[in-house]
Structure 1
């Protein structure tokens, strides 16, 4: 992977991590276009640079994350992330298998886009307007909804936002809780990928891949820095769009992008 490829993939991650469009799908498509998707370091890079996007949420909502008097906030996040930790470990091998298949991921983009076109109409009369009003039970239910994103192309953000709206959260509150939930979820995935997971082709752990080539660690740090900056911009933009337009713009985008990518990879596979 070249420096330019790393920069472009990191920009894609930062732009799409918190949007309901599937950052994983977009990074896979970008890497596949470059012809590097099968490389173990690239697969690690795609997961590890999510750490930069995580920091973006922590910085933007630092008062929320560092208000240690409100212990319920941490309890809700811990409870909500448990389903993803358990099911993610169980289905890890199956997820890896799908990650190398762009066509079904493009199909999931289209399906998810269709869902987003109707979500505002389906979930009406929300009664929960802020994180403080979310119960632990609701948080756990949203955590199970988030697990739908284990199918690449679904979008962790979209799944958890839909789960929030199903639990009577306003779309703004659902989006913000999705941001908060991303922090422990993506942190766990990053730590697992770097320190515990053995990658199939090389047989190496993530940290061993970082040391395998002299430039790998530099690309890792650069990718996280870029993802951090771009994610801050994307989060502010996303909140503004859903307040004004709801989720339809993202639904149309997913359908359009999914069709284009489906055609491209069908004729170039």
Structure 2
């Protein structure tokens, strides 16, 4: 391990944090970046560990809401309803993930063509939804009807395909089901908390014995930078999509997918 390795870890941590909660697929960006800078991540241990930094950042930003829900469970019906809503929305990812996770990680995750097409198609879908989305009926993520929350939970499962984007799938689902832009984005953040923590625990159990001493320092650096960059981007992202919408992210996805397909056609990847 040297300073170059730590610099690569910092760069990847920043990329992870910046893209985790944007509808652009952090997995796609991390895989492509690792290939471009020559970073080796045996068993995806580095990617798994730094992802925790991103989710802890959003949990810190919403710490008051989390505290209010947890302390209100014994006495407040709205706290119990919120917890139940998230639990039911989280369940589809648990059930489908248990059956599909290994296939995705071994067959799809390393496929640049799958990532490219997922980015491109997802971008087109986002543009269509921006133009033809239903009139919003839900303006507060915490007030999302249970059936809509569960439907968004099923939409989240599509993000098991690399390049789709977990936040993208849940935001698209929310928009399609009548949430306004801000509510869809915030619901995506709330649903990310149990989903990503559970995914981290599941993956960590599988890779913990493969983490080397050299990797520990790189993971620590990547974790810190992922936390800081995610903390930096979440609130501005919410304000931006409330005012502007998701169009710029859609065009970015389309451009990124087209560039990757072009690079594949030229034999560069």
Using the size of structure 1 for normalisation, the TM-score is: 0.90
Task: Determine the structure 2 residue equivalent to 1:228.
Answer: 227
The equivalent position to 2:18 in structure 1, one of 6, 15, 20, is 15
Q: Which secondary structure state, in structure 1, belongs to the residue aligned with residue 213 of structure 2?
A: coil
What stretches of structure 2 of length at least 5 have no aligned partner?
73-78
Deviations 1:5-38 (A, max 9, x none): 211111111010000000000001001113345x
**Hey, what's the Cα distance between the residues in 2 that align with 1:93 and 1:255?**
28
Are 1:85 and 2:94 an aligned pair?
yes
Question: More helix by proportion, 1 or 2?
Answer: 2
Q: Does the 8 A contact of 1:138 with 1:167 survive in 2?
A: yes
**Hey, what's the Cα distance between the residues in 2 that align with 1:74 and 1:209?**
35
- Mapping for residues 1-269 of structure 1, pairs under 5 Å: 2-36=5-39, 39-41=41-43, 43-67=44-68, 68=70, 69=72, 70-96=79-105, 97-195=107-205, 197=206, 206-210=207-211, 213-266=212-265, 267-269=267-269
What stretches of structure 1 of length at least 5 have no aligned partner?
198-205
Runs of 4+ aligned residues of structure 1 deviating over 4 Å after TM superposition are none
Q: Does the 8 A contact of 2:182 with 2:242 survive in 1?
A: yes
**Hey, what's the Cα distance between the residues in 1 that align with 2:187 and 2:141?**
7
Alpha-carbon offset, residue 120 of structure 1: 1.8
Using the size of structure 2 for normalisation, the TM-score is: 0.90
Q: Does the 8 A contact of 1:164 with 1:174 survive in 2?
A: yes
**Hey, what's the Cα distance between the residues in 1 that align with 2:66 and 2:115?**
33
Range moving further from structure 2, 246-255 or 2-11: 2-11
Aligned residues, how many?
256
Deviations 1:97-135 (A, max 9, x none): 211111221111111111111212221311111123212
